[in-house]
Each structure stands twice: as structure tokens, then as C-alpha cells.
Structure 1
Amino acid sequence: MTVDVSRGGLLVTLAIFGVIVYEFRTVLDFVGVELPLIPYMAGVFLLAAGTVWYVTLRGGWRTEPDGDEAA
């Protein structure tokens, strides 16, 4: 089984996910539930490292786009 993923797409997805989780943390802080920042940052970095490791283990990165052949 190969994972057909581009590096840019994966990194953008991880960035968007990180921002969503951070905003959720900010909303919880606004309503009175304080969460420390360091475990959040460690979790995001571990998720990113684990995802990159999984993609590398399962077949690597897609390096050339499919289709779009010259006429």
C-alpha cells in the first residue's frame, strides 16, 4: 500500500489542523478553562512527526503530478 501525498498538501493540512486546535484552546481559555501551551505545542509537533514518518514508511512522497502530459 502506498500513500499518494504531496509534501505541500500534507504540511498545509497539518498547519490548518494546528491552527484549529489552537483556536479551540483559545476559546476554552476565554470561557475559563486554562490549558498550558507547552503540551499543546509538543502534541502538534509529535502529530506532524508521526504523520511524516507514516507517509515515509508507507511509500514516500508523490514527486511528479499525474496526467498533464505534453501534446
Structure 2
Amino acid sequence: MECIEGKPCKLDEDYGRMLRQLGPEIMMRGHCPRAMCTRSEAREAKWIMAEIYKKYPSRYISALNRLANNPRYTYG
């Protein structure tokens, strides 16, 4: 969850970068915009997000709520 929130995390650089860049988009939109990732990256990121949700559902929901309250992710 730290990577998704932009904090330092213990994952290797590839997964850490992926979660920092794509995690919030997938959490808020349910998918990765085409301009941000390839289909394979989107599929892998969604799988990782699903695994995180299975293992840490309350932390995932808390992070989702923090993102929803972040003006950067306000649409309209």
C-alpha cells in the first residue's frame, strides 16, 4: 500500500514504479488509461491490486478513501 500512496516501499523498482504510477488509477477508475500503460502492464497491475485487496482489504479500502478525498482524483 505504501507504493500506491507514493511512499517508499520494499518492492523492487519495477513493481514499485508500476504501483506508484498505475495503482491509484486502477483503484479510482477500475482500469488503466491506454496512454499510461500497455495491455500487459494493465493486466499485471490489476492482478497485483486484486492480490493486495485479498490480503489487506481494510488497508486497501482506507487507501481508496484517501485517494477519493484527494483533489487530484476529482473528476468533473
TM range (shorter): 0.3 to 0.5
Q: Which is higher, the Rg of structure 1 or of structure 2?
A: 1
Structure ranking higher on relative contact order (CA contacts 8 Å, 6+ apart): 1
TM-score normalized with structure 1 length:
0.36
TM-score (norm 2): 0.34
